[in-house]
Amino acid sequence: MSAVGMCASVKTGPDAGGMLRVRCEINGSGRECRILELNSRRAFVESFVPAVTGSRVRMNFHLPNGHQVCASGVVTHHQFKVGFGVDFTDMAGSDRDQIESLLGI
Contacts of 21 (CB under 8 A, 6+ apart): 32, 33, 34, 35, 61, 62
Q: Could you tell me which of 18, 41, 32 has the C-alpha nearest to residue 99? A: 41
CATH topology of domain 10-103: Thrombin, subunit H (2.40.10)
Put simply, whether the predicted model's pTM sits higher than 0.75 gets the answer yes
Q: Is the predicted pLDDT of residue 30 greater than 80, yes or no? A: yes
Q: Report pLDDT digits (tens) over 33-76.
A: 999 999 999 999 998 887 899 999 999 999 999 999 999 999 99
At 41, give phi and psi (nearest 5°): -115, -25
pLDDT at 1 over 50: no
In the chain, where the domains are located:
10-103
> Is residue 18 predicted with pLDDT exceeding 60?
no
Sort strands 10-11 and 29-38 into parallel, antiparallel or unpaired: antiparallel
CA distance 7 to 11: 11
